[in-house]
Amino acid sequence: MTSARTVTSQSRRTLILVQDFAQNVPAAFALLGSNARDKVALRITGGCSGMSESDKSDMLRFFELGMRGFAGVCWSGGTRAINQDGSINLMVTEVPGVIASSNPDCVALGTAPRTDIMSLRGESHLVFDENGATLNPSHEAILIVQDGADGRLGWDGDLRAYTQLMEQWKTYARFSALGVIAWNGGSVTKKEIINSAEHGWSTILVAGSGRAADEMIADSNFISQSNVFIVHKDDPQNLRATLINLGFIKE
Amino acid sequence: MAEITMPRLYIKSQGEDTTKLALKLTTVPHRVIVRFTGGCGLMHPEHVNNLYQMFIAAFHGFKGAIIFGGTRMLLTADPKTVKPGITEIPPLIKKANPQCQILGVIPKTQDLRICDFGMIVSGEPDHDDFFTVNHPDIDELLIVQQSVDIEVHWETEFEECIKLTDALRTFANFDSLLISYNGGGITAKEIEATAELGWPVLLIDNSGRKTEEYCRNAAFLSNHLNVHVCDNTASALRYSLIRLGMIADRHLQVVHATTRHG
């Protein structure tokens, strides 16, 4: 049985790379993204606050169905939340691993700002932050962004790095489509949604998922932008159709 | 006013990554990278004859990436005359095979200066018989320095190429090949270093100087089964490129056609 700490990435290992906030993304991490069959990248952002276990399962099912056939880079935050009993607390950071496990040409990656000093606890398991999260072993690689060896960043501390890498994939590796899908989430998610729209990336908001995603949908000025799209959480086929239409899924 | 062609310049300090350039190389249709090393200023005339034609014929259909010195040597007495060297080859291969990517790497061994013929990277027209500028027929050029004030050695070129090749092999599923033709002491160091890494090396026999010495070194060859030797002919080189996976098998038919028509 797979535990919360079992490595389930396709290569059966998760590479961990560390960069300083002011540096460029390391070539090793950037190159891993180039291994995706299709040169497209989708960042999954958001949170799952206030959602029941059943809602969380439905969320994963939504992405699994909506992204069927996806063969690009699917990436998100690089953490995994663990319940008191050691089981996985399903969050959007589980989405890339789930997508990659059913779409072998997809590459799952994660980034995470180092918000605290990492520590080893119990049977040497790595604790990433003050909430007890660990690194997500369903990703091929995780890029940790830090502010010096003992500094602490906020939860948006990796936004600059992943924005930079998205743009470098487009400019130098001929990625043809970049986008963000937002599910639920708080203030950092809102920042990421705005950042995506400002960069001209396809920005897909999931209606009914709650909090930041729904709040942005309520902003008529924001959703009037030509690169902002809305899909409903009960309609994964609409997500898939949208992704096909935008060139993220090749049929 | 003189007209010079300048590639897009990337400048890095030793130890830094070259993420942009590494990503650019991943756009090739065939994930292979060939590193050219060997003779430049000191090749004998007999090792220059047919050199370019041989490589162009052998690389027909190549769709991978090439990294090389990125320089061109010009005669001081007549700076419009190009001195033959291995660094002239990749731009010619690129011209004949537009889908491949070439990247020049130049270590900053002295202060750089722009003249009427490009950016001088070695020698000075005032003192030397020839001087070296950036090759004008490449799109991207990586200059490696230790810092603004401190120069690096010529070995830095191959050290950087090994680092870049390692990243592409490890993280982007590339295969690699070092091709060595002629060359001196630094070429010898690169052959040794690459052989030790266990990566494929192809030495071209009868190309002169250090490469030829290694072709004759039975102990070295028997200790490094990843080092291969081929004759100094287009057909032998092409056969080796196919056998080592640098050119896809489907082009084999073209070889036969080329051979048949001379």
Predicted-complex ipTM score: 0.91
Contact B12, B2 (CB under 8 A): no
The answer on pLDDT for A19 being more than 90 is: yes
Rounded to the nearest angstrom, the minimum Cα separation between B74 and chain A is 32
- φ, ψ (nearest 5 deg) of residue B38: 140, -150
Q: HSE on the CB side for A76, CA within 13 Å?
A: 29
In whole angstroms, what is the distance from residue A56 CA to residue A50 CA? 10
Decide: helix, strand or coil at residue A87.
coil
Decide: helix, strand or coil at residue A138.
coil
**Chain B contact set for A24 (CB, 8 A):** 17, 19
The partner residue sitting opposite A34, judged by closest CB among B18, B21, B23, is B23
Rounded to the nearest angstrom, the minimum Cα separation between A99 and chain B is 21
In whole angstroms, what is the distance from residue A170 CA to residue A199 CA? 12
B11 close to A (CB below 8 A): no
pTM over 0.80: yes
Q: Which residues contact A36 (CB under 8 A, 6 or more apart)?
A: A71, A72, A73, A105, A106, A107
Strand-by-strand arrangement of the B175-181 sheet: B8-13, B140-145, B101-107, B65-68, B32-38, B175-181, B201-204, B227-230
A27-36, A124-133, B10-19, B108-117, range with greatest mean pLDDT: A27-36
**Chain B contact set for A31 (CB, 8 A):** 22-23, 26, 167-168, 171-172
Decide: helix, strand or coil at residue B144.
strand
pLDDT in tens, A163-196: 999 999 999 999 999 999 999 999 999 999 999 9
For the record, the structure tokens of B192 come out as 């040794």
In whole angstroms, what is the distance from residue B254 CA to residue B252 CA? 5
Is the pLDDT higher at A241 or at B40?
A241
Question: Are the Cβ atoms of B20 and A171 closer than 8 angstroms?
Answer: yes
Q: Where are the beta strands (DSSP E) in B123-187?
A: 130-134, 140-145, 175-181
Residues of chain B with pLDDT under 50: 253-254, 256-262
Taking only Cα atoms into account, the Rg of chain A, rounded to an integer number of angstroms, comes to 17
Instruction: Compare all CA atoms of chain B with the CA of A168 and give the residue at the minimum distance.
Output: B20
Rounded to the nearest angstrom, the minimum Cα separation between A87 and chain B is 31
Contact B186, B155 (CB under 8 A): yes
The partner residue sitting opposite A26, judged by closest CB among B17, B27, B173, is B17
The predicted structure's pLDDT at residue A3: 78
Question: Are the Cβ atoms of B171 and A32 closer than 8 angstroms?
Answer: yes
B window 171-210, beta carbon within 8 A of A = 171-173
For the record, the structure tokens of A38 come out as 């299709």
Instruction: Compare all CA atoms of chain B with the CA of A174 and give the residue at the minimum distance.
Output: B27
Instruction: Report the share of chain A in percent with pLDDT over 70.
Output: 99
In whole angstroms, what is the distance from residue A137 CA to residue A148 CA? 24
Question: Are the Cβ atoms of B171 and A31 closer than 8 angstroms?
Answer: yes
Q: What is the mean pLDDT of residues A43-66?
A: 92
The predicted structure's pLDDT at residue A111: 98
In whole angstroms, what is the distance from residue B141 CA to residue B39 CA? 20
Axis crossing angle, helix A53-66 with helix A236-245, rounded to the nearest 10: 30
Question: Are the Cβ atoms of B23 and A26 closer than 8 angstroms?
Answer: no
CATH of A15-243, one of 3.30.420.10, 3.40.50.450, 3.40.50.2300, 1.10.3720.10: 3.40.50.450
Question: Are the Cβ atoms of A172 and B170 closer than 8 angstroms?
Answer: no
Instruction: Give residue A92's pLDDT band: very low, low, confident or very high (50, 70, 90).
Output: very high
For the record, the structure tokens of B58 come out as 């052998």
The partner residue sitting opposite B173, judged by closest CB among A26, A27, A35, is A35
Q: What is the DSSP letter of A137?
A: T
Is the pLDDT higher at A129 or at B164?
B164
DSSP calls for A90-110 = --GGGHHHHHHHH-TT-EEEE
The predicted structure's pLDDT at residue B27: 97
Contact A184, A209 (CB under 8 A): yes
**Chain A contact set for B24 (CB, 8 A):** 172-173
- Which contacts qualify for A190-196: CB closer than 8 Å, 24 or more apart? A190/A215, A190/A216, A191/A156, A191/A159, A192/A43, A192/A45, A192/A156, A192/A159, A193/A45, A194/A222, A195/A159, A195/A163, A196/A43
Residues of A with CB under 8 A from a CB of B: 24-32, 34-35, 168-169, 171-174
Contact B141, B7 (CB under 8 A): yes
User: Which H or E run includes A127?
Assistant: strand A125-127
**Chain B contact set for A173 (CB, 8 A):** 23-24, 26-27
The answer on pLDDT for A146 being more than 50 is: yes
Distance, C-alpha A16 to centroid of its chain: 16
The predicted structure's pLDDT at residue B250: 60
Q: Which residues contact A83 (CB under 8 A, 6 or more apart)?
A: A89
Instruction: Compare all CA atoms of chain B with the CA of A33 and give the residue at the minimum distance.
Output: B172
The predicted structure's pLDDT at residue B249: 66
B65 close to A (CB below 8 A): no
In whole angstroms, what is the distance from residue A196 CA to residue B66 CA? 35
Taking only Cα atoms into account, the Rg of chain B, rounded to an integer number of angstroms, comes to 18
Q: What is the DSSP letter of B7?
A: P
Ramachandran region, residue B175 (left: φ > 0; alpha: ψ -120 to 50; beta: rest): beta
The partner residue sitting opposite A24, judged by closest CB among B19, B26, B173, is B19
The answer on pLDDT for A91 being more than 80 is: yes
In whole angstroms, what is the distance from residue A163 CA to residue A198 CA? 11
In whole angstroms, what is the distance from residue A29 CA to residue A141 CA? 7
The answer on pLDDT for A55 being more than 60 is: yes
Task: Name which of A32, A7, A70, A46 is nearest A244 in CA terms.
Answer: A70
Question: Are the Cβ atoms of B26 and A25 closer than 8 angstroms?
Answer: no
Question: Are the Cβ atoms of B24 and A169 closer than 8 angstroms?
Answer: no
Rounded to the nearest angstrom, the minimum Cα separation between B16 and chain A is 9
Instruction: Compare all CA atoms of chain A with the CA of B19 and give the residue at the minimum distance.
Output: A27
Q: HSE on the CB side for B132, CA within 13 Å?
A: 20
The predicted structure's pLDDT at residue A151: 92
Task: Name which of A215, A224, A167 is nearest A191 in CA terms.
Answer: A215
A34, A140, A165: which to substitute to probe chain B, counting the most B Cβ within 10 Å?
A34
Strand A125-127 relative to strand A134-135, pairing: unpaired
The predicted structure's pLDDT at residue A1: 56
